[in-house]
Amino acid sequence: MKFWLLLLVFVSAASNAQSEGVEVQKSRLLLLPASTVERSAGQQYGQLMRAAEQKGLLNNDPRQVERLRRIARELIPHATRFNENAQAWKWEVNLITSRSVNAFCMPGGKIAFFTGILDTLKLTDDEVATIMGHEIGHALLEHGRARMSGQVLKSIGIAALSIFFNLGQVSHEVLAQAANLAVSLPYARKQESDADLVGLELSARSGHDPRAAVAVWQKMARLAQAGAKAGARGQPPQFLSTHPSHESRIREIEANLPKVLPLYAKAARP
Ligand SMILES: [Zn+2]
């Protein structure tokens, strides 16, 4: 029983009270300290990038890589509105050569895009901002940290955790596994909606048309349909397996556009 009382101390439910922009919910039950999660995610990201480099798959096409990094530089200054710790994050943006239609942002601001998502969906800058903003949204709202906390709990068990509540002693392997799962499993619907909203606001504030979000999800849906028609050979976009689409997604985005279009207007015409 004592343990659950301790748990309560860690419950942080803060909805941001802003006068303008979107409203989202921060993650609960963040047992693992942010610093632990970010260090572990950073190590996993580094390993992934080194593996890609060794296989010649770390894409150096300056046109595409610089484009991604420029859009990240435009979005990032607005990130602290949703998580003030983001100011200290060591952001990274890399492009991996792969037909995978995917992108992610690990805890602590480690972003990866795959050439497959740029090429297959023929993304405009505003659409890249939509997807990057959405991914950054997951990181800012600490969805990965919440999931890692859950995974670590499952892996080592609540009894063990209660003995050494000092989570610095959680083994490297357990953390590494949790960090991988944090970007390879689907998010909950509420987390998806909130990441969409953060993406809309980051886009709008950085001068990218937030209406591009509608176009992105329409493209994603068309690709999934084409994949289904092609039968077993058809590949549904991997992005949809970690970011489940739902029928109401586009409607929710459209319903929230009036909250961010004024921000876009201000940013586009300073
Ligand atoms: Zn998502």
Q: What is the pLDDT of residues 134-157, one digit of tens each?
A: 999 999 999 988 887 777 767 665
Judge residue 181's burial from the number of C-beta atoms within 10 Å of its C-beta, 0-12 exposed, 13-18 middle, 19 or more buried.
middle
Residue bearing tokens 């029983």 = 1
How many A from CA of 180 to the centre of ligand 1? 15
pTM of the model: 0.83
How many A from CA of 61 to the centre of ligand 1? 26
Residue of 38, 135, 142, 192 with catalytic role: 135
Phi and psi dihedrals of 114, rounded to 5? -105, 145
pLDDT tens series, the chain, 270 aa: 344 433 333 333 334 445 688 988 877 667 788 888 898 889 889 988 999 899 899 999 999 999 999 999 999 999 999 999 999 999 999 999 998 888 999 999 999 999 999 999 999 999 999 999 999 999 999 998 888 777 776 766 554 554 444 545 556 666 666 666 666 677 888 899 999 999 999 999 999 999 999 999 999 988 888 877 766 555 667 777 777 766 788 999 999 999 999 999 999 755
Give the largest CA-CA distance in the chain. Answer: 57
Query: Number of C-alpha atoms within 13 angstroms, CB side, residue 150?
Result: 14
